[in-house]
Amino acid sequence: MKKALIVAALSLLSSGCTIIVSNAAASFSDNLSKAVLNQDDPELVRDGIPTLLLTMDSLIEGSPDSPQLLSAGATLYATYGAVFADDEIRASRLTTRARRYALHAMCETYAPSCEWPNATYDEFVATLDGIGKKNADVLYTYGFASLVFLRAHSSDWDSLAELPQVEALFDHYLYISGDEVNSSVYTYMGIMLTLLPPSLGGEPERARGYFEKAIADSGGADLSAKVEYARGYAKVLYERDLHDRLLNEVLEADPNRKGFVLSNVMAQEEAATLLAEADDYF
Protein backbone atom coordinates (compact mmCIF):
# COMPACT_ATOMS: atom_id res chain seq x y z
CA MET A 1 0.00 0.00 0.00
CA LYS A 2 2.81 2.44 0.80
CA LYS A 3 3.92 2.97 -2.77
CA ALA A 4 0.36 3.48 -4.02
CA LEU A 5 -0.24 6.48 -1.80
CA ILE A 6 2.31 9.01 -2.83
CA VAL A 7 1.06 10.10 -6.27
CA ALA A 8 -2.43 11.08 -5.19
CA ALA A 9 -1.17 12.40 -1.88
CA LEU A 10 1.31 14.84 -3.36
CA SER A 11 -0.97 15.89 -6.19
CA LEU A 12 -3.65 16.52 -3.58
CA LEU A 13 -1.13 18.47 -1.51
CA SER A 14 -0.49 20.61 -4.54
CA SER A 15 -4.17 21.47 -4.98
CA GLY A 16 -4.58 22.05 -1.27
CA CYS A 17 -1.58 24.28 -0.92
CA THR A 18 -2.19 26.45 -3.92
CA ILE A 19 -4.69 28.58 -2.03
CA ILE A 20 -2.84 28.88 1.25
CA VAL A 21 -1.29 32.33 1.39
CA SER A 22 -0.45 34.29 -1.72
CA ASN A 23 0.17 33.85 -5.42
CA ALA A 24 3.91 33.57 -4.78
CA ALA A 25 3.41 30.94 -2.09
CA ALA A 26 0.91 29.14 -4.26
CA SER A 27 3.36 28.96 -7.14
CA PHE A 28 6.09 27.70 -4.83
CA SER A 29 3.80 25.04 -3.32
CA ASP A 30 2.66 23.84 -6.71
CA ASN A 31 6.21 23.65 -8.08
CA LEU A 32 7.43 21.92 -4.91
CA SER A 33 4.81 19.19 -5.23
CA LYS A 34 5.66 18.68 -8.89
CA ALA A 35 9.36 18.49 -8.06
CA VAL A 36 8.71 15.83 -5.42
CA LEU A 37 6.50 13.78 -7.74
CA ASN A 38 9.26 13.78 -10.36
CA GLN A 39 12.12 13.07 -7.95
CA ASP A 40 13.85 9.72 -8.52
CA ASP A 41 15.56 9.56 -5.10
CA PRO A 42 13.07 8.44 -2.41
CA GLU A 43 15.58 8.97 0.39
CA LEU A 44 15.92 12.64 -0.51
CA VAL A 45 12.15 12.99 -0.18
CA ARG A 46 12.18 11.04 3.09
CA ASP A 47 14.76 13.42 4.53
CA GLY A 48 13.00 16.55 3.30
CA ILE A 49 9.37 16.01 4.31
CA PRO A 50 9.89 16.44 8.10
CA THR A 51 10.82 20.09 7.53
CA LEU A 52 7.59 20.54 5.58
CA LEU A 53 5.64 18.89 8.40
CA LEU A 54 6.95 21.38 10.94
CA THR A 55 6.32 24.26 8.55
CA MET A 56 2.73 23.09 8.04
CA ASP A 57 2.20 22.76 11.79
CA SER A 58 3.32 26.35 12.27
CA LEU A 59 0.94 27.58 9.56
CA ILE A 60 -1.94 25.69 11.15
CA GLU A 61 -1.07 27.19 14.54
CA GLY A 62 -1.58 30.61 12.96
CA SER A 63 -4.83 29.70 11.18
CA PRO A 64 -6.21 26.67 13.07
CA ASP A 65 -9.60 26.64 11.33
CA SER A 66 -8.43 26.91 7.73
CA PRO A 67 -9.73 23.91 5.74
CA GLN A 68 -7.02 24.44 3.12
CA LEU A 69 -4.16 24.38 5.62
CA LEU A 70 -5.68 21.51 7.58
CA SER A 71 -6.14 19.48 4.39
CA ALA A 72 -2.56 20.12 3.29
CA GLY A 73 -1.31 19.17 6.76
CA ALA A 74 -3.41 16.01 6.76
CA THR A 75 -2.03 15.01 3.37
CA LEU A 76 1.58 15.55 4.39
CA TYR A 77 1.25 13.63 7.66
CA ALA A 78 -0.69 10.80 6.03
CA THR A 79 1.89 10.49 3.26
CA TYR A 80 4.87 10.46 5.58
CA GLY A 81 3.21 8.12 8.08
CA ALA A 82 2.16 5.64 5.40
CA VAL A 83 5.20 5.74 3.13
CA PHE A 84 8.23 6.65 5.22
CA ALA A 85 7.55 5.86 8.91
CA ASP A 86 9.94 3.16 10.06
CA ASP A 87 7.91 1.54 12.81
CA GLU A 88 4.26 0.89 13.74
CA ILE A 89 4.23 3.23 16.73
CA ARG A 90 5.51 6.16 14.70
CA ALA A 91 3.16 5.38 11.82
CA SER A 92 0.26 5.28 14.28
CA ARG A 93 1.19 8.65 15.75
CA LEU A 94 1.66 10.37 12.40
CA THR A 95 -1.50 9.01 10.81
CA THR A 96 -3.52 9.86 13.90
CA ARG A 97 -2.52 13.51 13.49
CA ALA A 98 -3.31 13.29 9.78
CA ARG A 99 -6.82 12.08 10.46
CA ARG A 100 -7.36 14.71 13.15
CA TYR A 101 -6.38 17.48 10.75
CA ALA A 102 -8.55 15.97 8.00
CA LEU A 103 -11.61 15.70 10.26
CA HIS A 104 -11.15 19.30 11.40
CA ALA A 105 -10.95 20.43 7.76
CA MET A 106 -14.10 18.47 6.93
CA CYS A 107 -15.90 19.81 10.00
CA GLU A 108 -15.06 23.41 9.07
CA THR A 109 -16.35 22.74 5.55
CA TYR A 110 -19.47 20.68 6.30
CA ALA A 111 -20.91 20.85 9.81
CA PRO A 112 -22.64 17.42 9.91
CA SER A 113 -19.25 15.76 9.51
CA CYS A 114 -18.28 16.95 12.99
CA GLU A 115 -20.32 14.00 14.31
CA TRP A 116 -18.65 11.37 12.13
CA PRO A 117 -16.40 9.88 14.85
CA ASN A 118 -19.47 8.79 16.83
CA ALA A 119 -21.81 8.05 13.92
CA THR A 120 -23.16 4.64 13.00
CA TYR A 121 -22.70 3.46 9.42
CA ASP A 122 -26.25 4.47 8.48
CA GLU A 123 -25.87 7.88 10.12
CA PHE A 124 -22.56 8.42 8.35
CA VAL A 125 -23.91 7.48 4.92
CA ALA A 126 -26.98 9.68 5.40
CA THR A 127 -24.76 12.76 5.81
CA LEU A 128 -22.82 12.16 2.58
CA ASP A 129 -25.70 13.33 0.38
CA GLY A 130 -25.15 16.89 1.57
CA ILE A 131 -21.59 17.02 0.20
CA GLY A 132 -21.32 18.43 -3.32
CA LYS A 133 -18.61 18.77 -5.92
CA LYS A 134 -17.16 21.97 -4.45
CA ASN A 135 -16.11 20.03 -1.35
CA ALA A 136 -14.85 16.95 -3.21
CA ASP A 137 -11.17 17.67 -2.49
CA VAL A 138 -11.73 18.00 1.26
CA LEU A 139 -13.80 14.81 1.26
CA TYR A 140 -11.05 13.01 -0.63
CA THR A 141 -8.46 14.21 1.89
CA TYR A 142 -10.53 12.84 4.77
CA GLY A 143 -10.93 9.52 2.96
CA PHE A 144 -7.22 9.33 2.20
CA ALA A 145 -6.23 10.18 5.79
CA SER A 146 -8.78 7.68 7.14
CA LEU A 147 -7.49 4.89 4.90
CA VAL A 148 -3.86 5.30 5.93
CA PHE A 149 -4.95 5.63 9.58
CA LEU A 150 -6.90 2.36 9.37
CA ARG A 151 -3.99 0.67 7.59
CA ALA A 152 -1.61 1.77 10.33
CA HIS A 153 -4.06 0.39 12.90
CA SER A 154 -4.91 -2.80 11.00
CA SER A 155 -4.24 -4.94 14.07
CA ASP A 156 -7.17 -3.21 15.78
CA TRP A 157 -10.40 -4.89 14.65
CA ASP A 158 -12.45 -1.93 15.88
CA SER A 159 -10.57 0.28 13.42
CA LEU A 160 -11.11 -2.10 10.51
CA ALA A 161 -14.83 -2.01 11.26
CA GLU A 162 -14.75 1.51 9.79
CA LEU A 163 -13.74 0.30 6.33
CA PRO A 164 -17.35 0.24 5.01
CA GLN A 165 -17.65 3.93 5.88
CA VAL A 166 -14.49 4.78 3.96
CA GLU A 167 -15.73 2.77 1.00
CA ALA A 168 -19.04 4.65 1.07
CA LEU A 169 -17.11 7.93 1.25
CA PHE A 170 -15.04 7.12 -1.84
CA ASP A 171 -18.16 5.95 -3.67
CA HIS A 172 -19.69 9.36 -3.00
CA TYR A 173 -16.47 11.08 -4.03
CA LEU A 174 -16.60 9.26 -7.37
CA TYR A 175 -20.25 10.26 -7.76
CA ILE A 176 -19.66 13.98 -7.21
CA SER A 177 -16.28 14.36 -8.92
CA GLY A 178 -17.26 13.73 -12.52
CA ASP A 179 -14.37 14.18 -14.95
CA GLU A 180 -12.13 15.63 -12.22
CA VAL A 181 -11.82 12.35 -10.30
CA ASN A 182 -8.39 11.45 -8.90
CA SER A 183 -7.83 8.04 -10.49
CA SER A 184 -5.78 6.79 -7.54
CA VAL A 185 -9.06 6.37 -5.69
CA TYR A 186 -9.55 3.16 -7.69
CA THR A 187 -6.33 1.75 -6.26
CA TYR A 188 -7.48 2.76 -2.79
CA MET A 189 -10.80 0.98 -3.30
CA GLY A 190 -8.92 -2.14 -4.32
CA ILE A 191 -6.69 -1.90 -1.26
CA MET A 192 -9.67 -1.53 1.06
CA LEU A 193 -11.39 -4.59 -0.38
CA THR A 194 -8.27 -6.71 0.18
CA LEU A 195 -7.22 -5.56 3.65
CA LEU A 196 -9.25 -8.46 5.04
CA PRO A 197 -9.06 -12.06 3.79
CA PRO A 198 -12.16 -13.33 1.95
CA SER A 199 -13.16 -15.42 4.98
CA LEU A 200 -13.46 -12.24 7.04
CA GLY A 201 -15.22 -10.05 4.50
CA GLY A 202 -12.57 -9.20 1.92
CA GLU A 203 -13.82 -8.95 -1.67
CA PRO A 204 -10.92 -9.76 -4.01
CA GLU A 205 -12.99 -10.02 -7.19
CA ARG A 206 -14.42 -6.53 -6.73
CA ALA A 207 -10.91 -5.35 -5.88
CA ARG A 208 -9.61 -6.78 -9.15
CA GLY A 209 -11.99 -4.56 -11.10
CA TYR A 210 -10.79 -1.47 -9.24
CA PHE A 211 -7.11 -2.30 -9.74
CA GLU A 212 -7.68 -2.78 -13.47
CA LYS A 213 -9.59 0.52 -13.61
CA ALA A 214 -6.68 2.29 -11.88
CA ILE A 215 -4.20 0.88 -14.40
CA ALA A 216 -6.39 1.80 -17.36
CA ASP A 217 -7.12 5.33 -16.16
CA SER A 218 -3.43 6.16 -15.78
CA GLY A 219 -2.60 4.61 -19.16
CA GLY A 220 -0.26 2.27 -17.31
CA ALA A 221 1.85 5.19 -16.09
CA ASP A 222 1.15 4.52 -12.40
CA LEU A 223 3.17 1.38 -11.69
CA SER A 224 2.04 1.26 -8.06
CA ALA A 225 -1.42 0.11 -9.17
CA LYS A 226 0.12 -3.04 -10.65
CA VAL A 227 2.12 -3.70 -7.49
CA GLU A 228 -1.02 -3.45 -5.36
CA TYR A 229 -2.90 -5.64 -7.83
CA ALA A 230 -0.20 -8.30 -7.51
CA ARG A 231 0.00 -8.04 -3.72
CA GLY A 232 -3.66 -7.59 -2.86
CA TYR A 233 -5.26 -9.90 -5.40
CA ALA A 234 -2.88 -12.30 -7.18
CA LYS A 235 -0.84 -13.18 -4.11
CA VAL A 236 -3.86 -13.65 -1.86
CA LEU A 237 -5.55 -15.97 -4.40
CA TYR A 238 -2.30 -17.81 -5.21
CA GLU A 239 -2.37 -16.78 -8.87
CA ARG A 240 1.38 -17.04 -9.41
CA ASP A 241 1.33 -16.35 -13.17
CA LEU A 242 -0.64 -13.12 -12.76
CA HIS A 243 1.46 -12.09 -9.75
CA ASP A 244 4.77 -12.52 -11.58
CA ARG A 245 3.51 -11.02 -14.84
CA LEU A 246 2.35 -7.82 -13.15
CA LEU A 247 5.55 -7.41 -11.18
CA ASN A 248 7.79 -8.12 -14.17
CA GLU A 249 5.85 -5.54 -16.17
CA VAL A 250 6.62 -3.05 -13.40
CA LEU A 251 10.33 -3.87 -13.44
CA GLU A 252 10.53 -3.65 -17.24
CA ALA A 253 8.68 -0.34 -17.47
CA ASP A 254 10.31 3.07 -17.79
CA PRO A 255 9.65 4.78 -14.43
CA ASN A 256 10.21 8.25 -15.87
CA ARG A 257 6.59 9.15 -16.48
CA LYS A 258 5.78 12.77 -15.62
CA GLY A 259 4.02 13.05 -12.28
CA PHE A 260 4.76 9.42 -11.37
CA VAL A 261 8.57 9.21 -11.19
CA LEU A 262 8.90 8.95 -7.41
CA SER A 263 6.07 6.46 -6.93
CA ASN A 264 7.27 4.40 -9.89
CA VAL A 265 10.82 4.12 -8.54
CA MET A 266 9.39 3.00 -5.21
CA ALA A 267 6.99 0.60 -6.95
CA GLN A 268 9.90 -1.02 -8.77
CA GLU A 269 11.76 -1.48 -5.49
CA GLU A 270 8.68 -3.13 -4.00
CA ALA A 271 8.14 -5.31 -7.09
CA ALA A 272 11.70 -6.63 -6.86
CA THR A 273 11.16 -7.51 -3.20
CA LEU A 274 7.86 -9.30 -3.86
CA LEU A 275 9.37 -11.31 -6.71
CA ALA A 276 12.35 -12.32 -4.58
CA GLU A 277 9.94 -13.64 -1.93
CA ALA A 278 7.60 -15.39 -4.36
CA ASP A 279 9.20 -18.85 -4.30
CA ASP A 280 8.86 -18.99 -0.53
CA TYR A 281 5.20 -17.92 -0.69
CA PHE A 282 3.73 -19.87 -3.60
Question: Which residue blocks in the chain are alpha helix, DSSP H?
Answer: 2-17, 23-37, 42-62, 67-79, 88-109, 121-128, 136-152, 157-160, 163-177, 184-192, 204-217, 223-229, 240-252, 261-281
User: Which pLDDT score, from 0 to 100, does residue 99 have?
Assistant: 95
Positive/negative CA dihedral, 271, 273, 275, 277: negative
Task: Domain 2-182: give its CATH architecture.
Answer: Alpha Horseshoe (1.25)
The rounded distance, in Å, linking the Cα atoms of 192 and 179 is: 23
Residue 109 exposed, middle or buried by CB count within 10 Å (0-12, 13-18, 19+) = buried
Q: Which residues of the chain have a pLDDT value below 50?
A: 2-4, 7-8, 10-11, 13-26
Domain range list for the chain: 2-182
User: Which pLDDT score, from 0 to 100, does residue 115 have?
Assistant: 95
- pTM of the complete model beyond 0.75: yes
